[in-house]
């Protein structure tokens, strides 16, 4: 399920450029309003045994053309339009039900980002594409983040290394991440039934312009936005469309849309 949330009372409100952690917190508060116990479990644990996944993602805030001003010196965004909107997406029925209950429980729902309070004007649900031909050509709405373990010479762990789209093993990491998330939710191993193709021509053309970074609690997160083609069973492709690519999906990374379609 994918839901568009339109927020009003946005004009002249200012948020940090790196507001995504605040938006993630606002989404969790929605879940708490619907089912406190489930929201606490999702936040602290999530799905899977060895590897844990939250299995939802969300987009950045959108506004009409010219509807915001970015101050990079002070790393702030000021909205000049009355409304902004964003999308939440999940393949998990329990999360979708918690979100639906939170959005219908009251007629006066607000979302808080830092000191700013936005009023929810409306929420619209969208059907998930079927991908019946077993192919999904996807573009990145938000950056895809992949990491590899980084070990010092003495065997101690260093901060994870962020994978770039021109790395030879980027498709292997992307595929394994999707396999792990799907197995965490369904218990099925599709490692021999799926394949991933990154658009290498796009990477070669754009080079460093593929890369984008955000800060989450003073940690620099490095991701990339590159078209991806996936091959696999339709139910797997629908899962990927709803859950997103890469890691840190519940912090606003890895949302995708079909090539040629617009949010």
Same domain for 118 and 161, yes or no, is no
pLDDT at 157: 80
Give me the domain span that covers residue 151.
Answer: 135-258
Helix (H) or strand (E) holding 72: none
Kindly state the tokens that stand for 164.
């770039």
pLDDT at 110: 94
Query: Of 76, 99, 126, which residue constitutes the final position of a domain?
Result: 126
d(CA 109, CA 232): 39
pLDDT at 50: 81
CATH code (residue 55): 3.30.70.1890
Q: Which residues of 39-61 are buried (b: 16+ CB within 10 A; e: fewer)?
A: beebeeeebbeeeebbbbbbbbb
Q: Which residues of 196-210 are buried (b: 16+ CB within 10 A; e: fewer)?
A: bebbeeebeeeeeeb
Same domain for 153 and 71, yes or no, is no
**Which among 258, 4, 241 has a CA at the least distance from the CA of 125?**
4
> How far from 78 is each of 85, 114, 144, CA to CA, in Å?
14, 13, 25
Query: Of 126, 161, 183, which residue constitutes the final position of a domain?
Result: 126
In a domain, 182, yes or no: yes
pTM value > 0.85: yes
Q: What angle do CA 1, 84, 223 make, to 5 degrees?
A: 65
**CA-CA-CA-CA dihedral for 45, 56, 38, 98, to nearest 10:** 180
Residue 105: partners with Cβ closer than 8 Å, 6 or more residues away = 33, 34
Per run of 10 residues, the mean pLDDT along the chain (length 263 residues) is: 95 94 96 95 93 95 94 93 97 96 90 93 95 98 94 80 96 97 96 96 96 91 98 98 98 97 85
Structurally, the chain folds into a number of domains equal to: 2
CATH code (residue 155): 3.30.70.1900
pLDDT at 107: 83
């Amino acid at each position: 399920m994918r839901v568009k949330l339109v927020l009003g009372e946005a004009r002249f409100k200012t948020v940090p450029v790196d507001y995504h952690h605040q938006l993630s917190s606002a989404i969790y508060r929605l879940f708490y309003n619907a089912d406190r116990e489930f929201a606490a479990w999702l936040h602290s644990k999530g799905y899977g045994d060895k590897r844990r996944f939250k299995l939802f993602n969300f987009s950045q805030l959108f506004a009409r053309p010219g509807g915001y001003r970015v101050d990079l010196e002070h790393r702030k965004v000021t909205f000049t339009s009355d409304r902004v909107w964003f999308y939440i997406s999940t393949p998990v029925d329990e999360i979708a039900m918690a979100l639906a209950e939170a959005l219908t429980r009251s007629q006066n729902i607000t979302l808080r980002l830092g000191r700013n309070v936005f009023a929810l004007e409306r929420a619209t649900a969208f059907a998930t594409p079927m991908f019946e031909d077993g192919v999904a050509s996807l573009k990145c709405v938000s950056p895809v983040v992949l990491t590899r373990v980084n070990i010092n010479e003495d065997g101690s762990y260093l901060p994870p290394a962020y994978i770039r789209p021109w790395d030879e093993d980027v498709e292997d990491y992307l595929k394994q991440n999707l396999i792990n998330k799907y197995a965490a939710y369904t218990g099925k191993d599709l490692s021999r039934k799926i394949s991933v193709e990154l658009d290498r021509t796009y990477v070669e053309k754009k080079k460093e312009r593929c890369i984008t970074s955000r800060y989450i609690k003073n940690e620099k997160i490095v991701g990339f936005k590159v078209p991806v083609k996936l091959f696999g069973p339709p139910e797997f492709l629908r899962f990927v469309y709803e859950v997103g690519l890469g890691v840190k999906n519940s912090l606003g990374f890895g949302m995708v849309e079909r090539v040629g379609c617009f949010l």
